Amino acid sequence: MAENWSGIANADNLYLFYDTSKRPKPGEIVPCLLCSKPLMMLRYEGTPDQVCPECWETYDECARVICMQCQVVVARVKPGVTDTGYHIRRRSVLHLDKCNVCATGTEQSTIIELDQWATAVGRKSGIWVPVGIDLKGKRQ
């Protein structure tokens, strides 16, 4: 179990710098969402996770962020406590309300669990994740 996850953001500072503009299909060569190394998507059941075997092993303990609309894994975040006090557990699943796969042109999205938590504890809502990128892979 690794704790040195330098390439993984915490939920308070999560920016998606990779292209999620299309759903990964089995047999396609796609970039790993964590290290950008090319990999061939294998057949999958359920939620597609666009992560190479090395990153899968390294970041297996991290929480996954899945789009609620299209059911695609779009990011991983470090377990821990957010600024609002929400506890993200190891290997947990968080949900975005939409992403660039199901809503083309989306520039930001909300992590549903963190938003509901902030509302429940009376904190100011507005925990959102920028999901749009330009063609060079930089945040818009």
pLDDT (0 to 100) of residue 100: 78
- Residues whose CB falls within 8 Å of the CB of residue 78, separated by 6 or more in sequence, listed in order: 5, 8, 9, 10, 11, 62, 63, 88
Average pLDDT, the chain: 76
pLDDT beyond 70 at 127: no
User: Does residue 126 form part of some domain?
Assistant: no
More confident residue, 43 or 139: 43
Please check the confidence at residue 134 and state whether its pLDDT lies above 70.
Answer: no
Q: What tens digit of pLDDT does each residue of 91-114 get? A: 999 998 888 778 777 777 888 888
pLDDT for 1: 45
Query: How far is the CA of 59 from the CAs of 9, 95, 133, 137, in angstroms?
Result: 11, 18, 23, 22
pLDDT of 6 > 60? The answer is: yes
Residue owning tokens 């990964």: 24
Task: State yes or no: pLDDT of 43 exceeds 70.
Answer: yes
Residue 44 has pLDDT above 50, yes or no: yes
Helix (H, G, I), strand (E, B) or coil at 81: strand
Rg of the chain over all Cα atoms, to the nearest angstrom:
15
Residue 75 lies in a domain: yes
* C-alpha–C-alpha distance, residues 31 and 51, integer Å: 8
**Residue 16 pLDDT greater than 70, yes or no:** no
pLDDT over 70 (residue 19):
no
- What is the β-pairing status of strands 108-110 and 63-67? unpaired
* Global pTM value: 0.73
Q: Residue 94: give the domain boundaries.
A: 11-118
The confidence score (pLDDT) of residue 139 equals 43
30 in a domain, yes or no? yes
Is 55 domain-assigned?
yes
Q: What is the number of structural domains in the chain? A: 1
Task: Find out whether 111 and 121 touch, Cβ atoms under 8 Å.
Answer: no
Is residue 94, in this structure, part of any structural domain at all?
Answer: yes
In a domain, 52, yes or no: yes
The answer to the question of residue 25 being in a domain is yes
Q: Is residue 127 in some structural domain?
A: no
